[in-house]
Structure 1
């Protein structure tokens, strides 16, 4: 069993990963354009799943934040996984990367303290649960967004 424990996370973030009923995965280029590509993929999948617009907006912003963090703070490879489980009524997002980078990405390195660092606060507000865990050779950052009843 894969542990979802990550130090310094709220109890809400420590939710156990669910078995997914349907899902898809896509490789992403490890560069700034990856967030745009991930949003486009996600938007198409959510439309196919007939996810309500207000939920789709939360999923899209969460995907964008997780992919941007991976590009700025982690090393390749990078991929996006989307799934849904009708039993839990959640869209499950996973962004996997090659683990922490030795140096920050160009954007993060050029910013002042006030210009970045709010991504996880945004994700905390948009999701039912989120967290991360390490696996051999990669890091997995995940989030679950509730589907409106």
Structure 2
């Protein structure tokens, strides 16, 4: 984990960066590290759980559907004047070219992640860039 100090206010202006190893247990390892950061940020328990769930969903999406490497960034932001945590996951883009169908998935097991992200976020979106994709969400911090 790398923390980059951007400002002098405590916890504000600090960006936490996690590089996702391309391995089956990567998401759970990064989740533990994210939980430690959220404790440092002193978020209310429900807000911290929401941020953790959003980060997990975006990381899993990158691991399952995108080309490595993936990077998670967490930072404090304001959304309409209210505190939030911005969660960004950047990867190298889709693992499968668009228009080529993948294997069928069981809808009871897959496909709800981005809906969860949308529900828990004040704002969320996708930014496509020449080197890949960045999915982001701003989760209210309580």
Name the TM-score, length of structure 2 as normaliser. Answer: 0.79
RMSD over equivalenced CA pairs, Å: 2.0
Equivalent residue for 1:76?
A: 68
1:128 matched to 2:122: yes
Shift of 1:83: 0.4
Q: What is the rounded CA distance, in whole Å, between the counterparts of 1:21 and 1:122 in structure 2? A: 27
Q: What is the rounded CA distance, in whole Å, between the counterparts of 2:107 and 2:41 in structure 1? A: 39
Q: 3-state DSSP class of the match of 2:52?
A: helix
Contact 1:22–1:85 under 8 Å retained in 2:
no
1:24 matched to 2:16: yes
Q: Of 45, 55, 61, which aligns to 2:47? A: 55
Please state which structure has a larger fraction of its residues in strand: 2
Q: Of 32, 38, 50, which aligns to 1:40? A: 32
Number of residue pairs the alignment of both structures matches: 125
Contact 1:79–1:96 under 8 Å retained in 2:
yes
Q: What is the rounded CA distance, in whole Å, between the counterparts of 1:133 and 1:127 in structure 2? A: 16
Q: Of 62, 83, 88, which aligns to 1:94? A: 88
Shift of 1:21: 2.3
Q: Of 116, 140, 145, which aligns to 2:139? A: 145
Shift of 1:143: 0.6
Could you say which structure has the greater relative contact order, defined with CA pairs below 8 angstroms and 6 or more residues apart? 1
Shift of 1:131: 0.8
Q: What is the rounded CA distance, in whole Å, between the counterparts of 1:71 and 1:123 in structure 2? A: 16
Runs of 4+ in 1 over 3 A off after TM superposition: 108-111
Name the TM-score, length of structure 1 as normaliser. Answer: 0.76
